[in-house]
Each structure stands twice: as C-alpha cells, then as structure tokens.
Chain A
Amino acid sequence: MNQPKTNVTSNSATCPACGLLCDDILIDNNNNKIKVLKNGCAKSVTFFEQNLNGLTPKIAGKSVTLQEAISKTAQILSKAKKPLFAGLGTDIQGFRAIYNHAQKTNGILQHMNAQSMARNMRVLQSAGWQTTTLAEVKNRADVIVCIGTDIVLHNPRFFERFIQQDGMFIDAKQREIIFIGENIKKSDALENSSLLPCRAADLPEITLTLRALVAGKELKAKNLAGMNIGDLQTVADKLKQAKYAVLAWVAKDLDFTHAELTIQNITETVMLLNQTTRAAGLPLGGSDGDTSANNANTWLSGWALNSVEESYDAIVWVNSFSPERLPKNSDNPLIVLGNSNVKFKTEPDVFIPIATPGLDCSGMLFRVDSSVILPLKKVRENNLSTLSGIVSAIEKLI
C-alpha cells in the first residue's frame, strides 16, 4: 500500500455529489484528509470529507486479497446466464467498462435512479421538449418557476451560483422566482421569491391548469386544490411577459404515479410560451452519475438507458460515489463494487472497494443539463483500483 503523503496542498476540485458539478470548490489535503475551504455545500462537504475505510475486499464479510475477490467475482459471473449490473453510480469511463462487460456477459443494465430518470425519458420520447442549460439561466432568466421542488435539496448551490448572480443580460435583483409545491423551505431565504403552496399530489392538476391559462383558456372555477385560480393566472401572465422564463423541475421530487404527465404539462407550457416569447424547461437534480450513464449508454448502444424489468441470476451493484444506496434484497448472488465506506446489513458474496472518481481517481461526468462534461480530479492518495481496472481484471478470468 502507498504511504499517505504528509504534505498539505490546497487546490480547486470538481464535485460529483450533485448534477451541478461545481468546479470552483477549494479544498485542502492535509495528510490525505480533505477539507473543503471554500464554495462548499452540505453535499460537497460530505463527499470530499468522507473517511477512507474498508480498503480490503471481502468475501461473505471476511477480508481477502484483491485477487481472491476478483477470482470469486469471475466465478459467480461465469456461472450467471443473465447478470444484472445495477446501481451504476460511476463516471463515464466506469460506465463504459461496465457497459462493455455487460455486452460480453449478456447482462442487463439498471441505474439506481432508473425510476426518476424514466419520468423525464417518457416525456422526451413521446413529445420532446424545449430546454436550456445553466449558463443560459444565469445570463438570461428573468422569471424562474420551480415546480414541485425547492431544488436546493438536490442542487444546493443552484440559486447561489446561477440566480443570485448578475448575468450578462439581467441583474440578480431583476429576477423573480416562483415556487409551486409543498415542503418548500427555500422561498423564505430568497429575495424576489414567492410561494404558491399545494400538495404534491395536486401538481398534475395545477400544472395542467397553468398550461391551460398560458394557452389563453378561461376557467370557470375560482379555486383549484386549495389554490386561487387568480394566483395561477398571475403566474401565467408573468410567464408570458417574461423575456426568458425558465420552468424548472426535479424528476425525483415528482414521486407519484404518471409523473411524466405532470412533466409534460410543464414542457408543453414551455412550447406554448415559445410561440410568442422565449421560455425554456430545466430538468434539474442529476446524481449518482445518472446523466452520464444515460448519455454513454445512448451513444454506445444507440438507445437510452431505459428501465427494464427482466429476470436475472446474479447482481453486480456498482456505487462508487456514496456509501448510502444499497441494492434491494435478493436471493441471487450479490457482488458489490462500491465506495469504501459502505456498511452492509447483510454481507454480500463479494465486496470490492473501488476508487471514487473525483476523490481517489480522475474521471469525467455529465452535468445535469447534459451539454457539459467536466473532468474530475484525483485529490487524495490511496491504492484503490478504478472500476474499469477491476472490470478488466475480472474479464481476464472469464
């Protein structure tokens, strides 16, 4: 094992803890212990300051050598007729390695965020949409409507970095922010912001009504799901008068049946607005490498990473970014290629700790708006293998 370096260095780093990929984070490394000095948020502090534990691979909970763990994995995968590669919390290079391996082993791919990703994909694949990216929001957005989310739970620095800043064509103080939904805390802390409270379960109806109002339909009802129609009409009017309105949502927060129809109400509202003025949708969130997995799968296979329900006879769970998300219980053999801090309730058949991109190794990730890929840096020293390194070692034995 490499000796940890005993020096202190400070450097800027790119944070993969959410879809924003903030690349202005100042960290220092004191004897391999990382501290976030500047521009951090709760998520990035948790990510960068995580300890380095459990560097030894395990078979059924017992420490083994890396080679033993790799042999055992190869043995399980050789027997499997249809392995499931799940979790997929990795960067582009890691995903490419898993993708290619799944091709060779007749494997199925399923990201841990498949359910929320599917909500957006269903809209993209049925109707398409008109969207924008973060720099356009920062420089142009004058009215920002956040639907069913306060955003910061997923993307803590969204407002700080893109809304509360002066842009090229608009000053921060000229912007107006409107939240629609429940459990919205952020609105209290933001200037020029307002909240139209409603239950998440009522969002399908509320968004449909907003769409109708933007289309110029007159409604007889005065109230809807506890909301004054006049208030929604005001939102519709502001959207129509905006120079560059942005309607943002986070698919994970729209956690109800047929949420895609609510998303489509939002995107169709955007399309209506664009008949006369400019507006754009902004799907936010993006975590655990989901945007990267979807994009890389799409160019490698020709198709989006759609959620599939197929049977399988072994599970390889990949999660290099965080120790928290674990695979569902199953009777099938389970191999975990994961973050070194992961704690299991039931020990998997094999556990191999892998390097976390952006921390233990370099890497590449897509930002949540899909148009930008940022490099991730190695910021601490250890001997953890990369996911692609482990996969190629497994492949040599199959």
Chain B
Amino acid sequence: MITLLKNGKIYDPAHNLDGVVQDIYIRDGRIVNKPNQTEKINQVYDLTGKIVLAGAIDMHSHIGGGKVNIARMMLPEFQETKTYSEPEAHICTPNCSHNATPSTTDTGFRYIEMGYTAAFEPAMMPINARQTHLEMGDTPMIDKGGYAMLGNDDYFLRLLSSKADQKIINDYVAWILAATQAIGIKVVNPGGINAFKFNQRRLNLDENNIHYQVTPREILKSLSRAVNELGIAKPLHVHCNNLGAAGNFQTTLDTMQASDGMPMHLTHIQFHSYSTEGDKKFSSAAAQIAEALNNNKHITADVGQILFGQTVTVSGDSMMQHLNAKHANPKKSVIMDIECDAGCGVVPFKYRDQNYVNALQWAIGLELFLSVDDPWRIFLTTDHPNGAPFTSYPHLIRLLMDKGFRNEAFAKLNLDAQAMSNLTSLTREYSLYEIAIMTRAGAAKLIGLNDRGHLGVGAGADITVYTDQPDREAMFAKPDFVFKDGELVVKEGKVVKVVWGATHTTKPIFDISVEKYLSNYFDKYHTIQLDNFKIVDDEITGDGRGKVITHTKTS
C-alpha cells in the first residue's frame, strides 16, 4: 500500500527544506523513496498549495501520572468549562474542551486535532511510573514517553553524600530508566523537594540540603554527567531551584554553569526569569536569560508560556508549590511528600491580564521567545497545564508569528506591567520554518527520536497538512489532514480514525549488581518489593494497543 502526498509545500528543517514543493511517498507507515514506475500508488492526496510539516512533538507536557490525576480529581468545577460555547479567553482551538485537566481520551484527541503526534510527560516519579504509563496507555492518537525524576530521592542523595563512585550513580540512573520505561531524566528543584521534608523552605544552588550536606549544584553535576556518560540523547531536564520567585534569574544563570559544559535542558524557563526591579519588586530578566542562552551553546530551554485564563499548576516541586498555595484560585491546593522519592504540589491558578505579575509573566515568556536567536535550542511549551492548557498552542504560535496581533494583545495588559516590558520593541516574527524547528525537528533531535520530527526517507509518517492562512491561530488549530504512522487519522480538524501510538524509551546497559544494593535498600526502607517496582514491557503492550520503542543514541 503506497500513499502519495502530491505537490505539498514542505517545511522540513532537518533537511533544510523551507517551503519547497515536493512529493512524499508513504509505505507501511514510513516515508519512502519514489517507488518504481511499475509499483501501484494506492492513494493520492493532492496537496497543491497546502503546507506540509512533520507531526508536532510536545517535549514537555503534563499528560499523565499522579499529580495530573489529583488535579482532575480536585477540580470538579472545571466540569462547567465543558459547556462553554465561547472560550473564556481567546486561547483555545475550535475543538477545545476549554479544560486544563482533560481526560486521557481528550488529551489524545485535542493533540492530534492540532497536528501534534507526540507528547512527553516530563515529571514521571519513579515510584509512580506505573500510573503514568497506565494513563499514557489510555491516551489515544499520539506517541508518548516520560522523563524519570531523580535528584530528590533518598537513594540517590545517600549515594551522592557518601561520595559514591560516578559509575555506581550511572548504573543507578540507567537502572531507573529501564525500571520506569523512561526516555530521559529530569530533576525538579534539585535537592529541594527532599530538603522540604526536613523543613527547609528554600534551597539555593550552592546551599546544602541540611541532612545530606550536598548542594543542588553537586546534584546537577552528578546527574548531567550520568546522562552524558550513559549516552542518553535527551540532556538532563532541569526544573531549576526557586521556581516562580522574584529574583530567581540569578539561580537560572548560575545553573547554566552547573553542568561543566555538558548539555543540559532548562525547562519552563519563563518561570525562572524574574528579577526584582521596580516598585513591585518583580520584573523581567528575560534579556539576561536570553543573552546567556545565546552564549551558552550547551544549554537548551523550553519557555512555559503563560496565557490568560483558568488553569491549574501541577509540579513535583512541593517546596515551591507550598509557598505558591497562597495564590491558589480557586482557593485549594494539594501538597504531598511521596515515598522517599519526591513530592508534588497541585495549585489551581487563574492568570489575569489585569494582574501586574501575571501580565508581566505573559510578556516575559514572549520576550524570551523573541530574544533567543537559535530556534533549535528553544521550544514552544506552556508547561501544560501550568502556564496554560496545551490547546492554546495555535494562539501562542500566532503571537510569535504576528507582530501586530502580539502588540494588540500587549496593549490590553495591566499598564504597570506594560511599562516594565520591552516587548513592543522586539519586532521579530517567527517564520513557518522556525516554528517547524521549534515544534518538530528541534524537539525530535532533543529527545533523540531519530525517525520523527522530519519528512526524510525512513521517517515515521507522522505528517500534518495545513491550509496556508494569514491567521496562523486558525491555521494551526485545524489541520486539513493529519497522518499518524502513515494512516489518515484527522480530516478537517476532526478525528476520523482512532490509533494508540507508541511509548518511547531508552535503556542503556548497566551493571546488574546495582540491584544488590537496591535490594538491600528496598528491604530496609521501602514499602514494596524491588521486583514490583520494575515495569516490564508487557504492562504497556499487554492489552494489544500499546507498543514500546527503545531508542539508542546514534552519532
């Protein structure tokens, strides 16, 4: 069975194709060379004048697991948003359920309807990985994967504080990747979630965890070295210390140096780009952060843009979420310490354009997008649902591509916030090619998905076809066609076929003797058996829907 996508305008940054008219052939779910003349083309889509991109990849979105489910559970009032005929704020796609806490089915459907074919859960707590995978397994349409959280678990901190050999740490990190079926390693508020359990309320980069006497910098160094030495493609995913705190930009700048030049990814960097200037002691440090990103080529970042409206923040950062709980709207929060592994904090938020801090957060995110030069090193996220639901991506893309639209939105903000932002002086407009880098080619390269995010021969045929429209929000909200692994799954923005996607993992080899130490630790301190901690492939594939893809780094 061969499908031909004819005459589309291709934007494929991995192959330097910037709007080149070209045919694409698909066979058995993959993009193939032009077949011999003798071979039968079974289906032809005439895409003359249409824009063709690879399926988009969300490299950071909270789509499943304990804290996401707590958010759903504690917010029955969001049910009402299902009945809205008009979006509360103009941030939603036509099909949007206007909901920051979608069910697993809605998650898959809303993503694919926008042309996204993969999303990665960035905060999979190892002890909770089984739940995360069950939820991702119930998420149709898209590929998925998770980054396992380390760096606040007592096992790792015991190793680090006892000055364990790096090899032992590497074996543990590799074991965690295999046991939790993850594709990357994340650290959230390095050492801070753990320190909060010892009643520390803030932790700076060079401050000791009072029990273990190790600093966040040492944690970052050790984990980024492990990731690097194990050959994991995805750089260490770092949620810096001091999330959301005025003046935290200095921590962020210092964190860039903590890996000694090894690759590191700083996530939702908007929440970490705050200074303390002005009457309200809260100001933008986007310029300093962007300059540092431009200069430090080993660092990548995603933005975590906020958009106005009701949402809920879900984070592993129990320490900082406990501080943030006073801003909860509606007024309630869940904070948890979890299994000597990590923690979580779930705090509903309503971002308002007339609120000085919120308005400035909005501007800071956009300032970052527009001031970072290299689109291969900055990624489009709202840290779903923390800054806004992922369904607001088409709106965000328009803000980046349309200066007039952006400046109009800016003019409606809180006036004090306007006075504190240089956003209107940033005249950059993202091109389609740059959007394709940020949301496709760059994301695939970052995670190490060699056959995704591009349209070259051999790639998985995850393809999105749009009608070129000046209103980029309308365009990106409703693709004409979406192909998932070569099958037509969305037509005119509506799902026409349900598929289940695969789970992407990486499993570097490790010395199995690591289990001897772990087994002893589990017996003494844990509350489950070591064997029950490990997730076998069959748990993901057993129902006949799921599939596990294991990646290895290729040069």
Query: Which residues of chain A have a CB within 8 Å of any CB of chain B?
Result: 12, 14, 23-24, 92, 96, 121, 124-136, 138-140, 161-162, 167-169, 243-244, 274, 277-278, 280, 294-296, 298-304, 306, 364, 366, 370-375
Contact = CB atoms under 8 A, between A and B. Distances in A.
Nearest to A302: B103
B218 interface: no
B76 A135 contact: no
A96 B138 contact: yes
Contacts of B322: 130, 274
A283 to B, nearest CB: 12
A128 B74 contact: yes
A126 B332 contact: yes
15 contacts: A121-B73, A127-B332, A131-B336, A133-B339, A135-B339, A135-B527, A274-B335, A278-B199, A298-B69, A299-B103, A299-B135, A303-B72, A304-B73, A366-B131, A373-B128
Given A130-B334, A300-B103, A374-B532, A162 B525 contact: no
B339 A372 contact: yes
Interface string B431-458: 0000000000000000000000000000
* 4 A-B pairs with least C-beta separation: A128-B332, A302-B103, A135-B339, A373-B130
A128 B335 CA distance: 8
B66 interface: yes
Interface string B219-244: 00000000000000000000000000
Nearest to A305: B73
Given A133-B339, A243-B199, A375-B532, A128 B333 contact: yes
Given A135-B339, A136-B339, A278 B197 contact: yes
A302 B199 contact: no
B134 A92 contact: yes
Interface residues on B, range: 35 or more
B514 interface: no
Given A131-B336, A280-B337, A302 B525 contact: no
A162 B527 contact: yes
Interface in B94-149: 99, 101-106, 125, 127-128, 130-131, 134-135, 138
B527 A364 contact: no
B199 to A, nearest CB: 5
A298 B72 contact: yes
Nearest to A138: B527
Nearest to B336: A131
Contacts of A372: 127-128, 130, 339, 527-528
Interface of B: 64, 66, 68-70, 72-76, 78-79, 99, 101-106, 125, 127-128, 130-131, 134-135, 138, 154, 196-199, 211, 322, 325, 328, 331-341, 346, 524-529, 532, 539
Nearest to A103: B105
Contacts of A300: 103-105, 138
Contact of B528 (A243, A298, A306, A374): A374
A299 B197 contact: no
Nearest to A131: B336
Contact of A124 (B74, B99, B341): B74
Given A12-B529, A127-B332, A140-B197, A135 B130 contact: no
A126 B341 CA distance: 28
Contacts of B199: 243, 277-278
Contact of B73 (A140, A162, A169, A298): A298
B130 A364 contact: yes
Given A135-B339, A371-B338, A372-B128, A125 B76 contact: yes
A5 B539 CA distance: 27
B529 A299 contact: no
Nearest to B130: A373
B131 to A, nearest CB: 5
A289 to B, nearest CB: 14
A298 B196 CA distance: 29
Contacts of A24: 529
A136 B72 contact: no
B334 A128 contact: yes
A139 B135 contact: no
A301 B128 contact: no
A133 to B, nearest CB: 5
A296 B527 CA distance: 23
B525 A136 contact: no
A57 to B, nearest CB: 25
Contacts of B104: 299-300
Contacts of B198: 243, 278
A125 B79 CA distance: 13
A136 B103 contact: no
B180 to A, nearest CB: 12
A370 B529 CA distance: 17
B387 to A, nearest CB: 20
A366 B78 CA distance: 25
A76 to B, nearest CB: 27
A132 B528 contact: no
A136 B101 contact: no
Nearest to B345: A130
B338 A133 contact: yes
B255 to A, nearest CB: 26
A139 B99 CA distance: 38
Given A23-B528, A124-B73, A372-B127, A136 B332 contact: no
Contacts of B131: 295, 366, 371, 373
A310 B526 CA distance: 43
A271 B333 CA distance: 10
Given A274-B322, A277-B199, A131 B334 contact: yes
The interface centre, meaning the residue of B64, B335, B524, B527 with most chain A CB atoms within 10 A of its CB, is: B527
The interface centre, meaning the residue of A126, A139, A161, A373 with most chain B CB atoms within 10 A of its CB, is: A373
Contacts of B341: 135
Given A23-B532, A133-B336, A302 B72 contact: yes
Contacts of A138: 525, 527
A133 B73 contact: no
Contacts of B524: 168
A371 B73 contact: no
B338 A136 contact: yes
B336 A130 contact: yes
A136 B197 contact: yes
Contacts of A125: 73-76, 332
Contacts of A294: 73
The interface centre, meaning the residue of B68, B211, B334 with most chain A CB atoms within 10 A of its CB, is: B334
The interface centre, meaning the residue of B127, B197, B322, B331 with most chain A CB atoms within 10 A of its CB, is: B197
A124 B336 CA distance: 13
A12 B523 CA distance: 14
Contacts of B76: 125, 303-304, 306
A129 B334 contact: yes
A56 to B, nearest CB: 29
B525 A168 contact: yes
Nearest to A129: B334
A302 B334 contact: no
A371 B197 contact: no
